[in-house]
Amino acid sequence: MQLVSLQDVKKEFLGDILFEHVTFHINEKDRIALIGNNGCGKSTLLKIILGKEDISHGNISLSKNIKIGYLSQEVIENVNNTLLEEALLVFSDLQIKEKELIELSTELSLDPTNKKLSEQYGKKQEIFTSLNGYDYHYKIEMMISKFGFSKNDYNRKINTFSGGERTKIAFLKLLLLEPDLLILDEPTNHLDLATIEWLEIYLKNYKGALLFVSHDRYFIDALSDYIFEIESHKLTIYKGDYENYIEQKKINYEQQLSQYNQQQKEIERMQKFITYFRYKPRFVSRVHDKEKKLERIQKIEKPFQEKKSLNIKFQGESLKGKEMLSFKDVAIGYDFPLEENISFDVFGQDKIAIMGNNGSGKTTFLKLILEELKPLKGEMIFKRQINIGYIDQHHLTSNDETILENMVNNFPTLGEKALRNHLGKFNFVNDDYQKSINKLSGGEKMRLMLSKIILKNYDLLLLDEPTNHLDMVTRQALINALKEYKGTIIFISHDRYFVDEIATHVLYFSPSKVYFNEGGYHDLIEKEKNLIDKDYDITKNLKPQNKECPKEKKTSLKIEEKITALEIKLKELKSLQFLEEYYMDYEKSLKLEKDIKEIETKLKELENLYLY
């Protein structure tokens, strides 16, 4: 059955065409990945289907009574509900039926020979069973568990969860709703590796249709039957996975270019004939005939060939095979260990991926290398002087400077013209230079950080989720640049394709132990076949678990407790600001302000640790 149909849809934005001539259908059980460069209109197309954006031309029709689910904070109905209350809202109809069955069961226990009651109970029970009424409590428990929450979270109000946690809550509720069409915009953002792998398995077995935007190649390959690409204001449909898309796109381009070149040659031949014989009386009729044919030709547009995108080339000294860093029985964390017994050596040109669940200590480990933290035990030894470059996904969160001002302040000797040319290599053009950093998208911020780090000569690059918010082309350009980089890289990533393309080693923080393995992510999984199954029970995701809370979960709970305690303390301190004994006493006021800032800084550190 056809769920959604778009016919010759066009969307303009501020007078510019975003896309046009878009025609496609979504049928039951279709699995569609929507791809394209940032800003091409992917999210806008999703909003058109959702009825949140109007179209400039064309038609869109939806199947009658279709239920569409879209991942957003709006899925949460009331932030004052507890996690369990919000999840139970999905099954409100079943709860009513369940209550009726309980009431009838009570009546029957008092009057077991009443045939009317018995028949009524039997009919209602049949309906309840057909609606999987006896499974919904388990479904809720399973979803809550798979998104990293524990039973201790059931009675927490949603307004006490972080922004990242609320996104997870919206996601789990959306999956519980089981809509006919599930629409997801970058669903793997902020999900840890175990959740991503579990989600892939769940969505493979999902009964409805799936339309999703993603830059994760392995996620696309695992789920898509079709790839819809928006490029050069048009939508092209490819059948199959990402590898097939690349091959088919190449074939399509070559065919279209051949047709275009042939037509151009024919047009040129006809124009030459018209020009040469126009004033020769004997050829007048033939010239008119050629002119009419030329007018009637439906011109083929020259096919668009995607640019190679960013011109990235990292500078770095080659220290191939030379010892740079050594870790001996290191434990990392703040007031308690997140990971222990970390022992390995780093050599020149190593490319080490750090992987593991959120809150396992990945970013903490980078801070250890930056010497912002000390090991809780063990030792980290620098074998030589190392020039370190660091890209943190939160570096540019608060800055009123424009892009150009920021570059000039960081590289005053290069001059504006050279910096403009350099920024152009990272797709910053025209008015982009005057954009405030505060108003940049996630992808633009990452491109700006990459443009800055490239201008310096580093021996070791530390990268924290460098592919976040980057489109496919930019990711590939970054992969190519990092492959050619002669220095050493230690990077955090949940992008399995990115890791497999770059990593020479993987440092994996598992709840049970720390793994250090040669090769990429799939090399680790091949060697440690039970790693994912054992620690996260992904392959048995449909069976309830009654296991002891793993170390990672205990760690997360400790962090939550500390965040809650600090938030209470912060609230108490802020309330003192309004007391006369404080705002009339300069020294007391100054001390109070200092204490508040210290707690706010500690809160931010704990929140980042928990989420990333």
Distance of CA 227 to the CA centre of its chain: 18
Q: What is the mean pLDDT of residues 365-389?
A: 93
Measured distance CA(36)–CA(264) in Å, rounded: 29
Phi/psi for 373 (5° steps) reads -130, 160
Q: Are residues 232 and 339 in the same domain?
A: no
Statement: residue 239 has pLDDT above 80: yes
- Which pLDDT does position 560 carry in this prediction? 64
Confidence of residue 528 (pLDDT cuts 50, 70, 90): confident
Residue 412 domain flag: no
Please name every residue paired with 381 in a beta bridge, in sequence order, or none if there are none.
326
| Residues 282 and 348 grouped into a single domain | no
What residues have CB less than 8 Å from 540, skipping those under 6 apart? 533
Q: 268-272, 354-358, 536-540: which has the minimum mean pLDDT?
A: 536-540
DSSP letter for each residue of 441-473: -HHHHHHHHHHHHTTSB-SEEEEESTTTT--HH
Whether residue 36 has pLDDT greater than 50: yes
**Weakest-pLDDT range from 210-219, 479-488, 497-506:** 479-488
Residue 599 has, within 13 A of its CA and on its CB side, a CA count of 19
270 within a domain of the structure (yes/no): yes
Top pLDDT among 317 and 180 is at 180
**Helix (H, G, I), strand (E, B), or coil: what is residue 303?**
coil
**Each residue of 52-103: pLDDT tens digit?**
999 999 999 999 989 999 987 678 889 999 999 999 999 999 999 999 999 9
* Collapsed DSSP state (helix, strand, coil) of residue 517: strand
In the block, residue with structure tokens 């879209």: 70
**Same domain assignment for residues 375 and 279:** no
CB distance 604 to 597 below 8 Å:
no
Highest mean pLDDT among 1-5, 262-266, 544-548, 578-582 belongs to: 1-5
Asked if 362 contacts 506 with a C-beta cutoff of 8 angstroms, the reply is no
Residues with Cβ within 8 Å of residue 542, at least 6 apart in sequence = 142
* Residue-level pLDDT at 549: 43
pTM over 0.85: no
pLDDT of 202 over the 80 cut: yes
Q: Could you tell me the two tokens for 525?
A: 């999984």
Does residue 353 lie within any of the structural domains?
A: yes
Q: The CATH number of the domain where 289 resides is what?
A: 3.40.50.300
Mean of pLDDT over the chain:
84
At residue 54, the pLDDT reads: 94
What's the order of all strands across the beta sheet hosting 16-27?
A: 16-27, 2-13, 57-62
The mean pLDDT of 27-46, rounded to a whole number, is 91
Cβ neighbours, 10 Å, residue 212: 24
Whole domain around residue 3: which residue ranges?
A: 1-67+179-306
Domain assignment present for residue 567? The answer is: yes
**Parallel, antiparallel or unpaired: strands 226-231 and 234-239:** antiparallel
User: pLDDT band for position 426 (50/70/90)?
Assistant: confident
Tell me the pLDDT band of 332, cut-offs 50, 70 and 90: very high
Residue 541 pLDDT more than 50? Answer: no
The residue among 588 and 272 whose pLDDT is bigger is 272
CA distance 538 to 357: 13
DSSP letter, residue 158 = G
Is 258 inside a domain boundary? yes
Tokens 């000039």: give the residue.
Answer: 408
- CA–CA separation, 86 and 158 (whole Å): 8
Note the pLDDT of residue 255: 86
In this predicted structure, what is the pLDDT of residue 546?
Answer: 36
pLDDT of residue 30: 95
Contact 92, 177 (CB under 8 A): no
- Which of 536, 568, 597 terminates a domain? The answer is 536
Residue 520: partners with Cβ closer than 8 Å, 6 or more residues away: 353, 499, 500, 501, 502, 503, 506
Lowest mean pLDDT among 321-335, 494-508, 513-527, 573-587: 573-587
> Which of 193, 489, 213, 159 minimizes the C-alpha distance to 348?
489
Residues in the chain, overall count? 612
Asked if residue 345 and residue 299 are part of one domain, the reply reads: no
Domain count, the chain: 3
388 and 276 in a common domain: no
What's the average model confidence in pLDDT over 28-33? 94
Cα dihedral 107, 113, 114, 118, rounded to 10, equals 80
Amino acid at 334: Y
**Average of per-residue pLDDT across 222-241:** 92
The pLDDT value recorded for residue 584 is: 63
CA distance 26 to 2: 6
How confident is the model at residue 435, as a pLDDT? 86
pLDDT band at 519 (very low <50, low <70, confident <90, very high): very high
CB-facing half-sphere around the CA of 144: CA atoms within 13 A: 22
Residues 183 and 294 both lie in one domain = yes
Question: How much is the average pLDDT of 398-404?
Answer: 79
Q: Are residues 528 and 566 in the same domain?
A: no
**pLDDT > 90? residue 382:** yes
Partners of 227 in the beta sheet?
A: 33, 238
Q: Mark residue 305 as left, alpha or beta (left: phi above 0; alpha: psi -120 to 50; beta: remaining).
A: beta
Nearest C-alpha neighbor of 196 from the set 27, 44, 355, 49? 355
Per the CB < 8 A criterion, the answer to whether 140 and 149 are in contact is: no
CA distance 307 to 426: 12
Domain stops at, among 509, 536, 563? 536
Least confident of 291-305, 360-374, 481-495: 291-305
Model confidence band, residue 538 (pLDDT cutoffs 50, 70, 90): very low
End-to-end CA distance of the chain: 41
Q: Enter the DSSP assignment of 184.
A: E
Domain boundary among 274, 306, 338: 306
C-alpha 156 chain-centroid distance: 26
- Please indicate, yes or no, if residue 251 is contained in any of the structural domains: yes
pLDDT at 45 over 90: yes
Is residue 299 located within the same domain as residue 327? no
- Each residue's pLDDT tens digit, 244-292: 898 888 888 888 888 888 988 988 888 888 888 888 888 888 888 888 8
Q: Look at residue 199 and tell me if it is in a domain.
A: yes
In the prediction, which pLDDT does 580 show? 63
pLDDT in tens, 161-182: 876 678 788 889 998 988 999 9
Is the CB of residue 213 less than 8 Å from the CB of residue 49?
no
Does residue 344 sit within a domain?
yes
Indicate if 450 and 373 belong to the same structural domain.
yes
Same domain, 208 and 243: yes
| Selection from 358-367, 445-454, 499-508, 581-590 with the highest mean pLDDT | 499-508
Cα(249)–Cα(305) distance, integer angstroms: 10
Of 541, 543, 495, 535, the C-alpha closest to 203 is 541
Element (H, E) at 74: none
| 61 and 8 both lie in a single domain | yes
pLDDT number for residue 557: 57
The answer, yes or no, to whether residue 550 has pLDDT greater than 50, is no
**Residues sharing a CB contact under 8 Å with residue 301, sequence separation 6 or more, in sequence order:** 260
The model's confidence at residue 383, banded by pLDDT at 50, 70 and 90, is: very high
**Is the domain of 284 the same as that of 330?**
no
Q: Is the dihedral of CA 495, 31, 86, 124 positive or negative?
A: negative
The answer to whether 26 and 210 have CB atoms below 8 angstroms apart is no
pLDDT tier, 558 (very low <50, low <70, confident <90, very high otherwise): low
Find out whether 309 and 473 touch, Cβ atoms under 8 Å. Answer: yes
Q: Which of 119-128, 461-470, 529-538 has the lowest mean pLDDT?
A: 529-538
Both tokens assigned to 233: 């204001």
